[in-house]
Amino acid sequence: MNKKSFWTKPGFVSLLSSLICIVIGMAVGFLVLLALGGSKAYTDGFRQILLGGFYMKPSGIGKEIVAAAPLIMCGLSVAFAFKTGLFNIGAAGQYTLGAFGGLAFAILLNAPWWVCLIIATIAGAIWGAIPGIFKAYLNVNEVITSIMFNWIGLYGCNTIMYGRGSGAMYNPKQSKTFAVTGSSLIPSKIFGWDMAKTFSYSSCTIAIFMAIIVAIILYIILNKTTFGYELKACGSNKNAARYAGINEKKNIILSMLIAGALAGFGAGLFYLSGGAQWIPGDSTALPSEGFDGISVALLASSNPIGAIFSALFISHITTGGGFMNASLFPPEIADIISGIIIYLCAFSLLFRSAIMKLLTGHRKPEETKPENPPKGGKPAGKERA
C-alpha cells in the first residue's frame, strides 16, 4: 500500500492549484493597472487591492468582514450544489428572494432578527427548489432554469418593493428600501465584545460567525452523514447512485433547496446587519454576491471550510478595489481579477495534474475523487442544456 504523504494529498494539491489561479489572476490585474495608470499602478491601485480592508483600519476591516458573510454563504450555496453535480448559477436570484423576504419582515412587521433570517432562508430555499424540480421532473438543465429565475425573481421582487414608487417598503426620499432598525437588526455584540465599536463600522455584526458556523455544519453533513454521502454519490455518478437505491430525484431537489436556503440566509445576514439598503429602482443588475459565490466555491474546490477563506479573499480584493484611486482605476478591476480566477478554475484539473507530476512524477492524484465541477460533460448527454 502506498504511504500517503501530506504533499500529495488531493486537498493540498487543490490548495496549490487555487493559489496558482489567484497568483495569475492578480498578475493580470496588475497588468491592467499598469496599462491604465503606468507608474501609479502600484501606489494608487495594486497596493490597495493587496491591503484590502487593512488599507483603512479599522473601518475597512469591518467592511471586509460584513461583505465576507454573504459571500461565504453564496459560496457554500454554489459549492453544495457542485457536490451533487449541479451548477447553481442561480445564487443571485435566491439571494434576491432572501433579501426580499428578510427585509419585508424586518421593515413591515419589525419582527425580531432571527425570525427575519428564517424567512430569508425559506424564501431562498423556495427559489432554489424550483430549478431542482425542473431538473428532476422536466429534464431542463438547472443552469438555464436558474438564470431565467434569477431575472424573474429580480423583476418580481423589485416590482413589489417599488410598487410604482409608493411601495410600503420603499423610501422615495432615498430611492432605497427603508433602513432596518431596532430588534430586526442582527446584534453586533458577542460575549460582551462590541464588534461594531472595535471596527467603527456599524453594520459589523455577529453575521460572520453565523456564516462560519453554517460552513462547519455543512462540512459535517457532507462528510459524516448518510445524507451527505447520498448527495455526493448522485454527483459522482447519477446512474450508480440510482442503482444503489438512492432516490436521485429527491436528492436533486433537496440539494437545490438547501443551496437556495444558504444563499437566502446569506442575503439575510447582509441586509439585516444593515450592510446596505436594497435599491428596487435598479432592476437591471443582479446582486453580485451570487456570482462571486461561484468564484468562492471554485477557489475552495467546493470544500465548505475552504469557502470561508476564499470568501475572505474575494471580499479582501473587492474591498481593496473600492479604495483605489477612482479617477485612475475603476473599482471593477477587482471583478476582472475574480472573473479571471473563475476562468482559470474552469481548467484547474490541468493545474492539479501538473502539480502532481511535479511532486511525485505520476500524473494522477492518489485519490481521484470527481469532486467539483461535475466532471466535464453530462452523463450520456441525455439532458438538455
Partner 1 sequence: MMLMLKYALLSATVLMLVALGGCYSEHSGVINLALEGIMVIGGLMGAMMLNILPETMAAGLKVVLSIVVAAASGVLYSCLLAFSAINLKADQTIGGTALNLLSTAIAMVVVKRFNGTQSAKLSYDNSAFLFKIGGLTVNVFLIIGIVLLIAAYIVLYKTRFGLRLQACGEHPQAADSVGINVYRMRWSGVLISGFLAGIGGFAYIVPAVQTWNFEVGVAGMGFLALAVMIFGQWKPGKIALAAIFFAIFKSLANIYDSIGWLNALHLTKEMYNMMPFVASMVVLAFTSKKSRAPKAEGIPYDKGQR
Q: Select the residue interacting with partner 1 from 55, 162, 170, 323 (CB under 8 A).
A: 162
- Is 155 or 209 the residue whose CB approaches partner 1 more closely? 155
- Where helices occur in 38-112 by DSSP H, the ranges are 47-51, 59-83, 91-108
Residue 164 found at the interface with partner 1 (CB under 8 A):
yes
C-alpha cell at 99: 433579501
Residue 209 found at the interface with partner 1 (CB under 8 A):
no
Residue 345 found at the interface with partner 1 (CB under 8 A):
yes
Cβ atoms of residues 298 and 371 within 8 Å: no
Distance CA 262, CA 104 (A): 18
Nearest to 78 by CA among 219, 217, 255: 255
User: What is the amino acid identity at position 130?
Assistant: I
- Is 81 or 210 the residue whose CB approaches partner 1 more closely? 81
Neighbours of 20 (CB within 10 A): 16
Cβ atoms of residues 142 and 88 within 8 Å: yes
Residue 77 found at the interface with partner 1 (CB under 8 A):
no
Q: Select the residue interacting with partner 1 from 115, 147, 221, 354 (CB under 8 A).
A: 147
Residue 54 found at the interface with partner 1 (CB under 8 A):
no
In the complex, the smallest distance separating the C-beta of residue 131 from partner 1, rounded to whole angstroms, is 10
Residue 23 found at the interface with partner 1 (CB under 8 A):
no
In the complex, the smallest distance separating the C-beta of residue 300 from partner 1, rounded to whole angstroms, is 14
Number of separate helices (H) and strands (E) present in the chain: 15, 4
| Contacting range for partner 1; rule: CB under 8 A; set: 1-9, 54-62, 176-184, 278-286 | 278-286
DSSP of 110-171, one letter per residue?
A: ---HHHHHHHHHHHHHHHHHHHHHHHHHH-B-HHHHHHHHHHHHHHHHHHHHHGGGT-TTEE
Q: Which of residues 224-253 bind partner 1 (CB under 8 A)?
A: none
In the complex, the smallest distance separating the C-beta of residue 201 from partner 1, rounded to whole angstroms, is 23
What does residue 369 show for φ and ψ, rounded to 5 degrees? -100, 120
Neighbours of 38 (CB within 10 A): 9
Residue 156 found at the interface with partner 1 (CB under 8 A):
yes
Query: How many residues make contact with partner 1 (CB under 8 A)?
Result: 53
Residue 143 found at the interface with partner 1 (CB under 8 A):
yes
Residues that bind partner 1 (CB under 8 A): 32, 36, 87, 89, 134, 138-140, 143-145, 147-149, 151-152, 155-156, 158-159, 162, 164, 283-285, 291, 294, 298, 326, 330, 332-333, 335-336, 338-340, 342-343, 345-347, 349-350, 373-374, 376-378, 381, 383-385
